[in-house]
Amino acid sequence: ALAASREDEEDKELRQRFMAPPVSGLRELRRRRRELRSRMELLIMETQAEVCRALAALDPGASFSVDTWERKEGGGGISCVLQDGEVFEKAGVNVSVVSGLLSEEAARQMRSRGKSLKAKDGELPFCAMGVSSVIHPKNPHVPTMHFNYRYFEIEEADGTKQWWFGGGTDLTPTYLNEEDAVHFHKTLKEACDKHDLKLYPKYKKWCDDYFYIKHRGERRGIGGIFFDDVDSPSKEEVFQFVKSCAKAVVPCYIPIVKKHRHDSFTPEEKLWQQLRRGRYVEFNLVYDRGTKFGLLTPGSRIESILMSLPLTARWEYMHTPPESSKEAEILEVLRNPKDWVH
């Protein structure tokens, strides 16, 4: 009886900590508490709640709508979206925990990345989970921020499991503020350095290369870190690294929002923000691997996948900012990424 009441207390405490009950259910998570899948689900739930609370504290007039959804093929998710606040035009923090059989298109996409997947009777059971967020502020002096941390597991024909982690955090300012760029990158570098000094430079470059809008010759923003298909040195070590990165999200971004949320701005600056958001949309719909994977996964929730798109954006024909303007300054950095921490 004592153990049962302690479990009830634990359940209550966890429920208060999260934005909604976990997809796998508290009982199931407790039963498999030593398994990495359960620990990862708890981490993404905690990250979602941490980020939502930090954002809500800066935008007290607005509140998150919390949607839980189920996927008939297996699993589900929790979408938390704040819209039309004083500070944030649209901020979404999603958790998804899905399982089932990998679609042929999704498997093809993975094989094209060098995965050798041996299907059994043409079927590949998989489990994927992650937390993903995009934050679009109203004020053009507050940057847009995106992060995503995920875990993937596939069972092959002979019963062996392939697993890997992916993720990253990156910043997309409308106007360049060097101090903010340095703070953002330093915070992420500290999270990486706890595990291996080689990680930050490697994942910073990967981020600059990944968020590249080829048809524009520009990066989407000023980068951060990005990695995918990471399956070494060991499951535990990669999980601890991902945990450090997830815990760095609030400290790398919230101070920047606090610093600029009350900055004054002109209609011209708002217009430039709308044009930059157009670029954001172009990247997400044309190149982003997560968006593509979501759209190819049967039963996925389109609203949650497209939560990353801004509430408003703009595409003007042949727009070029004047030379030596603040607008031209950010374009220079997007075309030629900088080293912010040395």
Give me the sign of the Cα torsion angle 115, 118, 121, 124.
Answer: negative
- 53 to each of 57, 91, 187, how far by Cα in Å? 6, 12, 20
Q: Which two tokens stand for residue 108?
A: 């093809």
Residue 193, CB-side half-sphere exposure with 13 Å CA sphere: 7
**Exposed, middle or buried, 34 (CB in 10 Å: 0-12/13-18/19+)?**
exposed
Is 146 an annotated catalytic residue?
Answer: yes
| Among 141, 146, 183, 185, the one annotated catalytic | 146
> How many of the other CB atoms lie within 10 Å of CB of 3?
7
Give the C-alpha distances (Å, rounded to integers) separating 317 from 3, 173, 283, 313. 67, 22, 18, 14
Instruction: Indicate the SS3 state at residue 341.
Output: coil
- Residue-by-residue DSSP string for 183-200: HHHHHHHHHHHTT-TTHH
Alpha-carbon gap, residue 231 to 102, rounded angstroms = 19
Q: Give start and end residues of each alpha helix (H) in the chain.
A: 2-17, 26-31, 36-58, 104-111, 178-193, 199-210, 235-247, 249-260, 267-286, 289-296, 302-305, 326-335
Q: What strand order describes the sheet that includes 88-101?
A: 65-70, 75-83, 88-101, 125-137, 144-155, 161-172, 223-230
**Token couple for 238:** 């990669």
Give the whole-angstrom CA distance, residue 132 versus residue 152.
14
Active-site amino acid positions: 146
